[in-house]
Structure 1
Amino acid sequence: MNHAIRIHEHGGPEAMKWDEIPTPSPGPGEALVRHAAIGLNYIDVYFRTGLYKPPSLPCVIGMEGAGTVEAVGEGVTVVAPGDRVAYATAPIGAYAEARTIKADRLVKLPADISFEQAAAMMLQGMTAEYLLRRTFPVKPGQTILVHAAAGGVGLIMCQWAKHLGATVIGTVGSDAKAELARAHGCDHPIVYTREDFQARVKEITGGKMLPVVYDSVGRETFMKSLDCLAPLGMMVVFGNASGAVPPFDVGILAAKGSLFLTRPTLATYTAKREDLVASAEALFDVVRKGAVKIEVNQRFPLKDAADAHRALEARQTTGSTVLLP
Structure 2
Amino acid sequence: MAKVMRAILVKEFGDANVCKLVEDVPIPEVKPREVLIRVHAAGVNPVETYIRSGTYARRPNLPYTPGADCAGVIERVGDEVTKFKVGDRVFTVNTITGTYAEYCIANCNSVFPLPSNISFEEGSALGTPYFTAYRALIIKGHAKPNETVLIHGASGGVGIAAVQLAKSLGLRVIGTASSEQGLQAVRNQGADLVFNHKQEGYLKDIANASINNEGVDLIIEMLANVNLNNDLQLLRSKVGRVVIVGNRGTVDINPRLLMAKETSIYGVILFGSSEDEMSMINAYLQSGLKNGILKPFLGRIYPLEQAAQAQTDVIFNSGTCGRLTLKI
- TM surpasses 0.5: yes
Equivalent residue letter for 2:27:
T
How far is 1:203 from its partner?
0.9
How far is 1:161 from its partner?
1.5
How far is 1:139 from its partner?
2.1
> Aligned in 2, Cα 1:254/1:193: closer, same or farther, shift over 3 Å?
closer
Partner of 1:283: 285
Residue 122 of structure 1 contacts residue 280 of structure 1 at CA under 8 Å; is this kept in 2?
no
How far is 1:324 from its partner?
1.2
Q: Secondary structure at the match of 1:262?
A: strand
Partner of 2:20: 17
1:169 pairs with 165, 169, 174, which one? 174
Task: Please tell me the root mean square deviation across aligned C-alpha atoms, in Å.
Answer: 1.9
Partner of 2:10: 7
Equivalent residue letter for 1:306:
A
Report matched runs for 1:13-92 at 5 Å.
Answer: 13-19=16-22, 20-52=24-56, 53-89=58-94, 91=96
Give the Cα–Cα distance (whole angstroms) in 1 for the partners of residues 225 and 303 of structure 2: 32
Residue 154, structure 1, aligned to residue 159, structure 2: yes
Residue 227 of structure 1 contacts residue 256 of structure 1 at CA under 8 Å; is this kept in 2?
no
Residue 300 of structure 2 contacts residue 324 of structure 2 at CA under 8 Å; is this kept in 1?
yes
1:195 pairs with 192, 197, 200, which one? 200
How far is 1:256 from its partner?
3.9
Give ranges in structure 2 of 5+ residues lacking alignment: none
Residue 90 of structure 1 contacts residue 267 of structure 1 at CA under 8 Å; is this kept in 2?
no
Partner of 1:306: 308
Equivalent residue letter for 1:294:
P
Give the Cα–Cα distance (whole angstroms) in 2 for the partners of residues 148 and 100 of structure 1: 32
Q: Secondary structure at the match of 2:285?
A: helix
How far is 1:248 from its partner?
5.7
Q: TM-score w.r.t. structure 1 length?
A: 0.92
Q: Secondary structure at the match of 2:39?
A: strand
Partner of 1:324: 327
Equivalent residue letter for 1:228:
L
Q: Secondary structure at the match of 1:34?
A: strand
How far is 1:254 from its partner?
4.0
Residue 148 of structure 1 contacts residue 170 of structure 1 at CA under 8 Å; is this kept in 2?
yes
